[in-house]
Structure 1
């Protein structure tokens, strides 16, 4: 079976992305690292500011705190074995940040959940974020369906 030493797993805390974490743990080599990445969508923050929900800093701080809490809940009961799990929360465009972190950390593989909720033909199977990551990366991407 395929084993990768270090893997990036984008996480939005949906059941699909948590399933991708479980699959990535199965693919990760013993002693490897799993980097779980949650991206706070900058457009969402800008829309929340425009709607009067607070300043950009306040909204981002609340979303970071919620992400940390979600990480705790999502990882409860997940057996990591000999794999080290690291968590990251960044702000930006999801696909851009996924590609940037994978490149900056020199991660050899990405494992991500896919939902395919779009009706656009190119996004139907993978979803827009996964499709953009597939087009933009030079490392293998394992797409885990629901």
Structure 2
């Protein structure tokens, strides 16, 4: 059985990324650590500002608040007893931030969903973020396909 003590799980709160959380919990049980990472895409913020939805600070604050609520919803029904879960929200380019956090925290494994919330049909097999993480990671990456 696959096991690790510390795992990074990038989440966009899609069903696939919630399944990645479930898989990570099983990998680190009974006493491991999971770092859940949500990256607010900086290009989305720029587009929202250009469209007149508010300032970058206002939009970022709203997206951070939404992410905190989405973390709570994503963890509902997942048995995490004994597993330590840290939640992080950062702003940047998703694949860059995922690789940077994995390196900076010296995490030995990344578990992520293959298909994110905004994956276009042309990228169904491997989403662009998952593919870039796979190519750039220096640690094992477990991709959850559903």
Whether TM exceeds 0.5 here: the answer is yes
Superposed, 1:23-34 pairs within 5 Å as 23-34=23-34
Superposed, 1:71-82 pairs within 5 Å as 71-82=71-82
> Shift of the alpha carbon at 1:83?
1.0
Superposed, 1:5-84 pairs within 5 Å as 5-84=5-84
Q: Structure 1 CA distance, aligned partners of 2:138 and 2:74?
A: 29
TM-score, reference length from structure 2: 0.94
> Shift of the alpha carbon at 1:29?
4.2
SS of the counterpart of 1:77?
A: coil
**Cα separation, partners in 2 of 1:29 and 1:75, compared to 1, 3 Å:** closer
Instruction: Please tell me whether residue 100 in structure 1 is matched to residue 107 in structure 2.
Output: no
TM-score, reference length from structure 1: 0.94
Query: Which stretch shows the higher mean deviation, 3-12 or 70-79?
Result: 70-79
Say what the alpha-carbon RMSD is for the aligned residues: 1.1
Alignment gaps of 5+ in structure 2: none
Q: Structure 2 CA distance, aligned partners of 1:24 and 1:117?
A: 25
1:62-95 per-residue CA deviation (whole Å, 9 max, x = no partner) reads 0000000111111112111221011000000000
More strand by share: 1
Q: Structure 2 CA distance, aligned partners of 1:51 and 1:29?
A: 45
Is the Cα–Cα contact under 8 Å of residues 6 and 32 in structure 1 kept in the other structure?
yes
> Shift of the alpha carbon at 1:118?
4.2
Q: Structure 2 CA distance, aligned partners of 1:57 and 1:8?
A: 27
Q: 2:145 maps to what in 1?
A: 145
Residue-pair matches, total: 143
> Shift of the alpha carbon at 1:11?
0.4
Is the Cα–Cα contact under 8 Å of residues 134 and 141 in structure 1 kept in the other structure?
yes
